[in-house]
Structure 1
Amino acid sequence: MHDDCPFCEIVAGERSAHVIYEDEDAIAFLDENPAARGHTLVVPRTHREEIVADPEANATALFDAVSTVSSAIEDALDPDGFSVFHTTGSLVGTITHAHVHVVPRVEGDGIGLSLVRDELDEEAGALADALAARC
């Protein structure tokens, strides 16, 4: 357990949460400050600041839990769709324990997760090659 981590406290049973799913690798609970009804956080049981780019993390197990939770939310709430996201580094905010947000969406919910978009430039081929060489 990591000192002063509320998610580690939930994993350890030292802090209350509305848990909706748990297995040996992950636990999922309703967000205390939901953006939408059913907004759920899926977290690894082991404290990690990164899950996607950490080769020692079990991202597959975490995203299996995300899939299970999404299916349960789909059955219970019948949303129009989902926004699923994970943020790392200084963009995370005050909680450094890796987590994935599963946000059920409905038409006109006012939730904005917009991306400023651009077109691929002439360096796209070189970028693709450099990334592919590392996969």
Structure 2
Amino acid sequence: MESCAFCRIVAGEADAHRVYESERVVAFLDANPAVRGHTLVVPVAHGDDVFANDADAGAVFEAVRTLADALERALDVDGVSVFYTTPRIVGGVDHPHVHLLPRDSADGVHLSLPRGSLDDGEATALTARVREGL
């Protein structure tokens, strides 16, 4: 897609510091990092959701695993936070992408979610609905 910033990076038409490439995946340092080493993993093919294509999903998350290990070794961090949100939910860049954030205890990053409670009846019903969807 001509208007997609990540498609331009994948095509080599826009600059990015690439750290990984394969037939289906490109990974590069985020130009506006939350932490040192913040990396984005994107499928080569533009789409609405990384999970829409089994081969792309497998390639993306295999790259995520490989890069998480590499980032931990290269940056000597405590771990890596990984997150993905379907692009249509968050806006911004509509090309599917996974964020990898190398983490240490003093990085100041807070990835907290408001928490509720789950009663047994709701959990049972939800479990059944998810299993029906498999």
TM-score w.r.t. structure 2 length? 0.93
Deviation at 1:3, TM superposition (A): 2.3
Contact 2:87/2:93 (<8 A) preserved: no
- Report how many residues are paired: 133
Q: Which residue in the other structure is 2:130 paired with?
A: 131
In the TM superposition, structure 1's runs of 4+ consecutive aligned residues that sit over 6 Å from their partners are: none
2:18 corresponds to which residue? 19
Please tell me whether residue 86 in structure 1 is matched to residue 84 in structure 2.
yes
Alignment match, 1:38: 37
Select the structure that is richer in helix.
2
Q: Does 1:108 align with 2:113?
A: no
1:79 maps to amino acid: V
How many angstroms does 1:133 deviate by?
Answer: 1.3
| Equivalent position of 2:9 in the other structure | 10
Determine the structure 1 residue equivalent to 2:97.
99
> What are structure 2's unaligned runs of at least 5 residues?
none
Pairwise CA RMSD: 1.4
**Of the candidates 34, 43, 61, which is equivalent to residue 63 of structure 1?**
61
Post-superposition CA distance 1:25-50 (Å, at most 9, x none) = 10000000000000000000000121
Contact 2:87 2:95 in 1 (8 A): no
Letter in 2 for 1:110: G
Consecutive unaligned residues of structure 1, counting only runs of 5 or more, are: none
TM-score (normalised: structure 1): 0.92
Q: Distance in 1 between matches of 2:78 and 2:91?
A: 28
* Cα distance in 1 between the residues matched to 2:60 and 2:54: 13
